[in-house]
Amino acid sequence: MGLLEGKVAIVTGAARGIGRAEALCLAAEGAKVVVNDLGGEWDGAGSDARPAERVVAEIRDAGGEAVPSFESVCDFAAAKRIVDGAVAAFGRLDLLVNNAGFVRDRMLFNMSEEDFDAVVAVHLKGTFCMARWAASYFREAKHGGSIVNTTSQAGLTGNVGQSNYSAAKGAIAIMTLTWAHELRKYGVICNAIAPTARTRMTERTFGTITVPEGEFDAAAPENVAPLVAYLGSDDARRRDITGCIFNVRGGDVEVFEGWRTVKGIQHDGRWTASALEVRMSELFS
């Protein structure tokens, strides 16, 4: 029996890359899966139902249960239809995996308003829209649940040429911590992953990552999926694993520590700019 036997999951952006690997892994662990994906290009342009349908076919061919969804996570009403559709198809919802996204990288002085808004919409607003309706369902259903968001190293430490993407991913990390506090009393855990894996987005940014034949492929998106499956399990809820940001890279699983004070200087009363000039080096020594 799989870790998620009898559970129902939604995976957004599930037609390719990490999302596809997550959908297949959740299904292999016994979950019934809603495979949500518009089928757009790496920059969000266009749509194509075939990639999501192929993942659904893969799951069904392996003996699992899945249905496709082609709704946009950026649309508040459409996000509700995705959640309602999962319940209509399978009778319940237990796990939401927010993975949908694309990139439009530009240096700050070259980034258009459209590029900024589009990337923030799919990553940040899309995560909010989906979680908003899933959380409402979980509260009313009273059987608990799990939300797994997708942040990024770019959102935690910044990355050149990714003002839009980094801003959205950083905000997702903070929303994860906020939702963990808000939803705990309803038996819902909320965590985020910051995966390091090969996708269409990373290949556009960093180029193609190749591995010699026979060696472990540390960049394979399939390496990310087992942690997501675990975070949707009853064991993760029993252990109250919530409000965590995980880095997943190859065979490594790490927990990030958030913003914290590392050094300080004190003064009796209000600082002056001149006094700060004298002592500022103490903060960086």
Q: Taking the CA atoms of the chain, what radius of gyration do you get in angstroms? A: 20
Comparing CA positions, the residue from 180, 169, 74 lying closest to residue 128 is: 74
State yes or no: is 185 an active-site residue.
no
**What is the rounded CA–CA span in Å between residue 103 and residue 231?**
26
State yes or no: is 7 an active-site residue.
no
> 69, 80, 169, 233: which one is catalytic?
169
SS (H, E, C) the chain: CCCCCCCEEEEECCCCHHHHHHHHHHHHCCCEEEEECCCCCCCCCCCCCHHHHHHHHHHHHCCCCEEEECCCCCCHHHHHHHHHHHHHHHCCCCEEECCCCCCCCECHHHCCHHHHHHHHHHHHHHHHHHHHHHHHHHHHHCCCEEEEEECCHHHHHCCCCEHHHHHHHHHHHHHHHHHHHHHHHHCEEEEEEEEECCCHHHHHHHCCCCCCCCCCCCCCHHHCHHHHHHHCCHHHHHCCCCCCEEEEECCEEEECCCCCCCCCCCCCCCCCHHHHHHHHHHHHC
> 152, 163, 166, 233: which one is catalytic?
152
**What is the rounded CA–CA span in Å between residue 194 and residue 39?**
22
Cα 107 to chain center, whole Å? 24
> 7, 72, 165, 166: which one is catalytic?
165
What residues does 8 pair with on adjacent strands? 32
State yes or no: is 169 an active-site residue.
yes
**Residues belonging to the active site:** 152, 165, 169
